[in-house]
Amino acid sequence: MPVRNTAMRRATIARITLPVILAATAITLTPTPASAAEGGDLENRSSTEMEYASFSGTGRVHRCQVWNDTLTARWADSENLACKQTALPASREVVGRYDVDGFTFEDRPYVVSLQMPDLSYLRVEVGKGVWTKITDADRAVCSGSAQPHCLVTIF
């Protein structure tokens, strides 16, 4: 009898263990929105070109004067950071796997409305060429022409 009980136990363990292992593997390998994206999202609905930057990783060959270099990107803390800058034409967006850590309009001042953790908004007038930092959990949508307005929300 011990041989039969051992064989039955192995069969039962195999029937239970294999589906659990497969399910755990599927959960681990399935990308989620938080893990798929490397940075915040940026949409340029303005009528002019803007720029976005990555403040980490390789290829940081520029300098970006950031007015809000804080962990939450919600408070003034000016810093000149190494960055990699990329142009973003009008009517384009950068979402998903791109590393968007900040944005600016090089040739004009702009206004930023930052959604705060309590869901209120902080309005800041930013000079031309000064960068606004965003977090991986932010979505920035910029519109307008003479003085673009950028709404930064936590998504």
pLDDT band at residue 24 using 50, 70 and 90 as cut-offs: very low
Report the percentage of the chain scoring pLDDT > 90. 66
Q: Report the DSSP pairing between strands 110-115 and 79-88.
A: unpaired
DSSP string, 102-136: EEE-TTS-EEEEEEPTTS-EEEEEE-TT-BEE--T
- The tokens for 84 are 């990699």
Q: pLDDT tens, 90-119?
A: 999 998 878 999 999 999 999 999 999 999
Q: pLDDT tens, 53-81?
A: 999 888 899 999 999 999 899 999 999 99
Q: What is the pTM of this model?
A: 0.74
Q: Give the closest residue to 10 by CA, choosing from 18, 32, 42.
A: 18
> What is the rounded distance in angstroms from the CA atom of residue 3 to the CA atom of residue 86?
68
Q: pLDDT tens, 121-147?
A: 999 999 999 999 999 999 999 999 899
